[in-house]
């Protein structure tokens, strides 16, 4: 298998998602169809030759040919995300390599039911799955359980609302761990066994689950799913540490 090569991808659009999250659209000279759930490596090179790399999940579906979206949360003390947020502009070219990864992936051919569990920016690869599912007008029963600190931290909020509103086979459940929006009547705590039981159980014992987010959330959710009787092959996880991706 040939190693992946770096390529100079041009930024074609930048979209603000939340107060600390932006999506960057890249046109790739050597575009390759990806699997929802994969990521790209991004490399920055300083004038003195110093290089640093980070991996960012692909947010866009494979049906979008020639371009990809990478959604990036700004990490205050990070090396890469502040540069992307504060310096990079449309028309700039950055080095990308990918797509990477083959474990944390899903497509409509794999079937379902499908349970997606996210914390913070962990929703990004799951959004690629939802967009791919929508592109195929799939009726696979699907639920997303998404944990955020506050209402202002919900990435893709308007799109998630629209997808759930237009598709009776998709349900989106939010839980807020710090401050819920005014008038909110849904979950207001960290994801726990009881919450997972309420959201996951209606999908049945054959559910495929994908969990992405901070390490503690992912481990807690995966352990809870195991206690619910799901087998290891049914639970796919992807996690990131305190500094994020």
Global pTM exceeds 0.75: yes
Domain 108-240 indexed as CATH 3.40.50.80: yes
Angle at 121 between CA 71 and CA 145, to 5 degrees: 125
Tell me the C-alpha distance between 57 and 40, whole Å: 6
Alpha helices in the chain, H assignment, sequence order? 81-86, 123-135, 157-166, 193-200, 215-227
State the residue for tokens 């991996």. Answer: 55
| Torsion angle of the four alpha carbons 47, 53, 59, 65, in this order, in degrees rounded to the nearest 10 | 60
**What is the structure's pLDDT at 241?**
57
Two tokens, residue 11: 């930024």
How far is it, in rounded angstroms, from Cα 144 to Cα 50?
Answer: 40
Contact 34, 66 (CB under 8 A): no
- The token pair that represents 126 in the structure block: 């799951």
Cα dist. 106→19, 76, 110, 126, 205 in Å? 29, 32, 7, 9, 18
Give every CB contact of residue 18 below 8 A, 6+ residues apart in sequence: 152, 153, 154, 155
Per CATH, domain 7-100 is 1.20.58.410:
no
Alpha-carbon span 30 to 65, nearest angstrom: 11
Beta carbons of 174 and 186 less than 8 angstroms apart: yes
Rounded Cα distance, 115 and 141, in Å: 9
Divide the 245 residues of the chain into consecutive groups of 10 and give the mean pLDDT of each group.
Answer: 87 98 97 97 92 96 98 93 97 97 96 97 98 98 98 97 96 97 96 96 96 96 96 93 42
Domain assignments of the chain as residue spans, ordered by start: 7-100, 108-240
| pLDDT given for residue 245 in this prediction | 35
pLDDT at 1: 56
């Amino acid at each position: 298998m040939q190693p992946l090569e770096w390529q100079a991808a041009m930024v074609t659009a930048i979209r603000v998602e939340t107060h600390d999250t932006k999506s960057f659209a890249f046109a790739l000279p050597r575009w390759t169809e990806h699997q929802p759930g994969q990521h790209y490596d991004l490399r920055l090179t300083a004038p003195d030759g110093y290089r640093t790399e980070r991996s960012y999940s692909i947010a866009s579906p494979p049906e979008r040919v020639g371009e990809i979206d990478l959604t990036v949360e700004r990490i205050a003390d990070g090396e890469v995300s502040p540069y992307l947020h504060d310096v990079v502009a449309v028309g700039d070219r950055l080095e990308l390599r990918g797509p990477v990864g083959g474990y944390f992936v899903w497509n409509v051919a794999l079937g379902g039911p499908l349970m997606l569990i996210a914390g913070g920016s962990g929703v990004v690869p799951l959004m690629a799955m939802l967009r791919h599912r929508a592109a195929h007008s799939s009726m696979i029963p699907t639920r997303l359980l998404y944990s955020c600190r506050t209402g202002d931290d919900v990435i893709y909020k308007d799109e998630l609302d629209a997808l759930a509103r237009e598709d009776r086979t998709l349900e989106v459940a939010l839980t807020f761990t710090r401050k819920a929006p005014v008038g909110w009547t849904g979950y207001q705590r960290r994801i726990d066994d009881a919450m997972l039981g309420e959201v996951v159980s209606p999908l049945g014992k054959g559910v495929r689950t994908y969990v992405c987010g901070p390490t503690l959330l992912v481990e807690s959710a995966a352990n809870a799913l195991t206690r619910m009787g799901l087998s290891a092959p049914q639970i796919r996880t992807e996690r990131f540490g305190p500094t994020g991706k």
